[in-house]
Amino acid sequence: MSSAAGGAGEEGGAAAAQPQQEGPVVTCKGVNGLDKVVLREVRGSSAEVYLYGGHVTSWKDEHGEELLFVSNKAIFKPPKAIRGGIPICFPQFSNFGNLDPHGFARNRTWSVENDPPPFPVPTSNKAYVDLILTHTEEDLKIWPHSYEFRLRVALGPGGDLMLTSRIRNTNADGKPFSFTFAYHTYFSISDISEVRVEGLETLDYLDNLQERNRYTEQGDAIVFESELDRIYLGTPSKIAIIDHEKKRTFVVRKGGLPDAVVWNPWDKKAKAMSDFGDDEYKRMVCVEAAAIEKPITLKPGEEWTGKLELSAVPSSYYSGQLDPDRVLQDSSVPEDSIS
């Protein structure tokens, strides 16, 4: 596996002669010998991506503080998905279809793509890696479609974490295919009782704890007092997760992903999960950028793009509105995002 992805390792022999621990992109071994890619931004932020699952398992700020939650009981052993970080749900979210819950992308080993098709907007930043996943014969037995799934994971100069998914229908038989999708992001928080999610007020949601019946959000923010598992529909491009104790706000920006899932398993479900600590629900919350209610349909040759950008900022920054003047970096992604 080359470490040239994203611009690292270009020194040739010189790079091979010394450890590349300070480069913007380093490939190495992770838990249980699984391959991973470490991204570092010059100001000190970092991210780690396992090739197994195309799975981001770490995102640290310039002070080295971990911003994503990964369970202490996470099983880094295929075919089990990694519990925490940012699992990718494709081609199916949850049980919205006939596949195993959340599809198979998070259970497959991806490849580093050193020469991907150009992005709409080039970047001068070198802290990124491009991964690719394509169908296997085994996949075709359960989901009979040919596809190319390209994932770019990048760190911005300010430490923002950006994920861009590009999914293309490569069926040779002329058939379209449909899929649902989510970036199943686990955020690290101080305590679930200290957290509120803003930006989803007055919206309709499907309640997974009530047979997916449709309700309208009545609160001025989402707070957590028991298990919560909802799919919010037609959501804005920006959502905030405010952690009062840490005085920190996560800002979630998304493109091509109209829905948002908010989830915390609470105590009973936490105890029922073998790869999740009994009390870990207190230190995590999932807010997931998703396309669920209306599946994405691609004809052969069509490509869909789904973007996620995560920022962590002091809570004083948030004053009742989600930075309306700022748009997604590389903001050439329209809402329908199909070309």
Q: Which CATH number covers residue 274? A: 2.70.98.10
Rounded-to-integer distance, Cα 257 and Cα 254, Å:
6
Rounded-to-integer distance, Cα 308 and Cα 305, Å:
10
Rounded-to-integer distance, Cα 81 and Cα 88, Å:
10
Number of C-beta neighbours around residue 124 at 10 A: 6
Say what the pLDDT of residue 135 is: 94
Least confident of 13-22, 66-75, 86-95, 303-312: 13-22
Residue 73 backbone class (left: φ over 0; alpha: ψ -120 to 50; beta: rest): alpha
Q: 337 versus 171: which is more confidently predicted?
A: 171
Q: Give the closest residue to 91 by CA, choosing from 77, 79, 105, 80.
A: 105
Say what the pLDDT of residue 125 is: 79
Say what the pLDDT of residue 154 is: 96
Look at the block and give the residue holding tokens 């609470």: 266
Confirm whether 112 is domain-assigned: yes
Percent of the chain with pLDDT over 70: 85
Q: 317 versus 151: which is more confidently predicted?
A: 151
pTM equals 0.88
Confirm whether 92 is domain-assigned: yes
- Residues tagged active-site: 184, 288
Confirm whether 51 is domain-assigned: yes
Q: 173 versus 333: which is more confidently predicted?
A: 173
Q: What is the 3-state secondary structure (H, E, C) of 38-50?
A: EEECCCCCEEEEE
What is the domain range of residue 205? 25-314
CB 181 within 8 A of CB 165: yes
Q: How confident is the model at residue 117 (pLDDT cuts 50, 70, 90)?
A: confident
- The span from the first CA to the last CA of the chain, in angstroms, equals 31
Instruction: Answer whether residue 319 shows pLDDT above 60.
Output: no
Confirm whether 338 is domain-assigned: no
Structure tokens at 135: 């169908």
Classify strands 128-134 and 195-198 as parallel, antiparallel or unpaired.
unpaired
Helix (H) or strand (E) run with residue 287 in it? strand 284-298
Confirm whether 329 is domain-assigned: no
Structurally, the chain folds into a number of domains equal to: 1
CB 105 within 8 A of CB 149: yes
3-state DSSP assignment of residue 227: coil
pLDDT digits (tens, 9 = 90+) for 177-228: 999 999 999 999 999 999 999 999 999 999 999 999 999 999 999 999 999 9
Helix (H) or strand (E) run with residue 271 in it? helix 266-272
- The one-letter amino acid at 163: L
Say what the pLDDT of residue 157 is: 86
**One-character DSSP codes across 132-153:** EEE--HHHHHHS---EEEEEEE
Rounded-to-integer distance, Cα 101 and Cα 108, Å:
14
Confirm whether 322 is domain-assigned: no
Say what the pLDDT of residue 19 is: 39
3-state DSSP assignment of residue 33: helix
Average pLDDT for 275-292: 98
Say what the pLDDT of residue 8 is: 34
Confirm whether 48 is domain-assigned: yes
Angle value at C-alpha 242, between 236 and 248, nearest 5 degrees: 125
- The one-letter amino acid at 129: V
Structure tokens at 267: 């105590």
Q: Give the closest residue to 287 by CA, choosing from 222, 234, 333.
A: 222
Alpha carbon 63 to chain centroid distance?
A: 22
- The reply to whether omega before 116 is within 30° of 0 (cis) is no
Rounded-to-integer distance, Cα 277 and Cα 70, Å:
10
Confirm whether 154 is domain-assigned: yes
CB 240 within 8 A of CB 249: yes
